[in-house]
Structure 1
């Protein structure tokens, strides 16, 4: 099976990256640099995620902590999604800030993206990937963005336990809205945050998951897409909405539609809290 990262970058050349020898057949982060005009940036080991295919517009009041992440690379501006977990800290995917060993020259996050009068942008002072991030395994594909100034937006609570198999979760993002299985379909980037519902399934259902740092979700008709990388995976734990995952990648055909890979927040919780200074 192949899988693709979900970072978005406008494609100038070609959004498909050949598999590297010794790796599974996936599109790699090089895609970030090879596509810079309208489409997608990918994580190191999975297909790119667009802005939620077959989703619906999210209620802005419920997602005041969600941000659109813009990353300046030499080839152009890449797009991801992120979640505010502290007044000056956003969590996103590591592959968004590490592309073939390169880092963006500048990163900004935008709150209330697409909402006239409410939208505003804050610069990122420092971007830190998980210390054990391994793009070849899509391992620990999570990063923290430390803002240049604190904001007064609400934050999303972090889950301390994984969502059980069979649980319903919500994914949201600012990526493309087309079918991720149709490479010829244009990006059509979302103008507002889009959300959809997926179901957690056994990790073995996603061939590219190789450890407890990730979990697998499924839907027969909806999926994350390019530009949704780093976006929230939300689970209602005893009635409380919590961030249980960060969108990483999508299994490509011949996988059954649609299998998404997400980095586990509970697995990374100790590192997140220590790095962000959370209790």
Structure 2
């Protein structure tokens, strides 16, 4: 069972975003409520990222590179989201493949999930977390999945610069669609990919960010959720859609706004390119 620590009162600015003087709260980090068996995979620390809450169905043609990730653990099948960055390589969150020091017995990714005519699944041959991944700090929470065979789907380009504060970004995932602030909400998994838009805000707005390996996004009424972990955070850089982040976690109440924590792709870019063999 995961333990929810009573949240501390936070200082807030007038627009509902936590101020830089907000107290740090204990985290409940992102291993996922399985969308198949509803089994809790315990985590050491920040709240995980159900599918997008208050989002809308994504255009399947624009997201042919997005995948649903299934991971076999003793408690059941957990799910995450991922993005194809090379013909045989998917990027996702490290906490999806490292749960309390354990690795899943099997991993598979599904393309075009929920689209019966085009849906197909491929096994993962090797899963590699970022070497410096630290779940206690939600540090370097990013991993690569190497597929058993290459695919012909389009890939998403990696961003080399972070999204500036104030920029609108898009988050997408296959997770639960209920309110992540409501612990009694049922996990109703999205039958198709769901997307929403958030705003990049200063790192100080998310009290659980401990370094440049992550960035913070905000919305008053929409958020990533369980099962979205590992999913894409996309930024339009001069008109080009690029993968700027990987969904990690959400800040817990008493926040009245939704604050999402994402791994920074630009920060991890050298490792991603070297490990995936990208130029």
Query: Is TM > 0.5 for Structure 1 vs Structure 2?
Result: yes
Two-structure CA RMSD over aligned residues (Å): 1.9
Task: Map 1:96-111 to 2 at 5 A.
Answer: 96-111=96-111
What is the CA distance between 1:255 and its match in structure 2? 2.0
What is the CA distance between 1:17 and its match in structure 2? 2.3
Closer, same or farther in 2 for the Cα pair 1:153/1:229, shift >3 Å? same
Equivalent-residue separation in structure 1 for 2:92 and 2:156 (angstroms): 13
Equivalent-residue separation in structure 2 for 1:32 and 1:63 (angstroms): 22
Aligned residue in 2 for 1:25: 26
Equivalent-residue separation in structure 2 for 1:42 and 1:59 (angstroms): 33
What is the CA distance between 1:116 and its match in structure 2? 1.1
Local SS of the residue matching 1:172? strand
Local SS of the residue matching 1:275? helix
Please state if 1:247 is matched with 2:247: yes
Equivalent-residue separation in structure 2 for 1:95 and 1:71 (angstroms): 11
What is the CA distance between 1:212 and its match in structure 2? 0.3
**Deviation above 6 Å: which 4+ runs of structure 1?**
33-36
Aligned residue in 2 for 1:115: 115
Give yes or no for contact 1:42–1:49 (8 Å, CA) kept in 2. no
Closer, same or farther in 2 for the Cα pair 1:54/1:41, shift >3 Å? farther
Aligned residue in 2 for 1:152: 152
Closer, same or farther in 2 for the Cα pair 1:57/1:32, shift >3 Å? closer
Aligned pair count reads 261
Aligned residue in 2 for 1:128: 128
Equivalent-residue separation in structure 1 for 2:189 and 2:36 (angstroms): 13
Please state if 1:74 is matched with 2:74: yes
TM-score (norm 2): 0.89
Give yes or no for contact 1:65–1:83 (8 Å, CA) kept in 2. yes
Give yes or no for contact 2:52–2:194 (8 Å, CA) kept in 1. yes
Equivalent-residue separation in structure 2 for 1:273 and 1:113 (angstroms): 27
Q: Any stretches of 5+ residues in structure 2 without a counterpart?
A: 6-23
Please state if 1:258 is matched with 2:244: no
TM-score (norm 1): 0.89
Please state if 1:221 is matched with 2:201: no
Give yes or no for contact 2:41–2:75 (8 Å, CA) kept in 1. no
Aligned residue in 1 for 2:172: 172
Give yes or no for contact 1:40–1:79 (8 Å, CA) kept in 2. no
Q: Any stretches of 5+ residues in structure 1 without a counterpart?
A: 1-13
Equivalent-residue separation in structure 2 for 1:17 and 1:146 (angstroms): 33
Equivalent-residue separation in structure 1 for 2:49 and 2:132 (angstroms): 23
- Superposed CA deviations along residues 227-256 of structure 1, whole A, max 9, x for unmatched, are 000000000000000000000000011123
Aligned residue in 2 for 1:9: none
Aligned residue in 1 for 2:92: 92
Closer, same or farther in 2 for the Cα pair 1:28/1:218, shift >3 Å? closer
What is the CA distance between 1:42 and its match in structure 2? 6.8
- Superposed CA deviations along residues 179-223 of structure 1, whole A, max 9, x for unmatched, are 000000101000000000000000000000000000000000000
Give yes or no for contact 1:49–1:176 (8 Å, CA) kept in 2. no
- Superposed CA deviations along residues 115-140 of structure 1, whole A, max 9, x for unmatched, are 01100000000000001100010000
Local SS of the residue matching 1:252? coil
Closer, same or farther in 2 for the Cα pair 1:152/1:44, shift >3 Å? farther
Closer, same or farther in 2 for the Cα pair 1:39/1:220, shift >3 Å? farther
